[in-house]
Amino acid sequence: MTFDSVDELHKIKTISPDAQVVLRIVTDDSGSVCQLSNKFGASLCDVPQLLDTAKELGLDCVGTSFHVGSGSSDLNAFKEPLTHAAWVFEQAKSRGIEMSLLDIGGGFPGDDAGEVSFEQIAQQINPLLDNLFPKEVNVIAEPGRFFSHSCGTIATKVIARRFVTEQAKKDSGAGANAPDIYYYIGDGTYGSFNCMIADHYTPEEVECLTDSKKMVTSRVFGPTCDGFDTIYDSK
């Protein structure tokens, strides 16, 4: 299990003294869709104290970990944390702690539409691993978004619609910018589309399964009474 504080080490010692522990360090994840380092990860200045405490408590500190944030768009995101992780290995070795595990976290894109690809990131990571860590170090990752980003398609019914008259557009003050039709579907941001809020995801364009080919501007809402439950707003 991971730790990033002295309190967590004492808790682990009390509850599971035979556990293998991994020191998580903070990273610069400002280029990611979902930032994690504002919540997890020890600062480098705290690493010596954490390693000393783990050794004093007799805990088996087997490695270090970091996470550059979910959905990273920075091609160089892994360079600095890998260098920092190698420094942690050195600090541990100087204290008689032999680390053998490196967890490089996730952050890998799940499609090829972004600014960087998985292949580009791999081309940066692999040489750094070869240069910074001995071959016997076991390297693992957490590629959640990489596997789940494009794993499914949602099919949902249109449960209601409302045509917006020209006069209603004028009365709303939106004028020509107002949509022609409001659609209400059976799923929304409080259901399957919660990724729009939690993961800052923009859903792909909707595919209509009817034969109609006429295109008009529209706004698509989820089924709740909350106006925040908006999924699409065509321009």
Catalytic residues, by residue number, are 225
**185 — phi, psi (to 5°)?**
-110, 170
* Strands 70-72, 2-3: pairing kind: unpaired
Name the nearest CA neighbour of 33 among 149, 206, 153: 149
- Which H or E run includes 15? helix 6-15
| CA 142 to each of CA 4, 27, 45, 158: distance values in angstroms, whole numbers, following the listed order | 18, 15, 26, 37
Q: Which residue shows structure tokens 């600014």? A: 115
Cβ(44)–Cβ(27) under 8 Å?
Answer: no
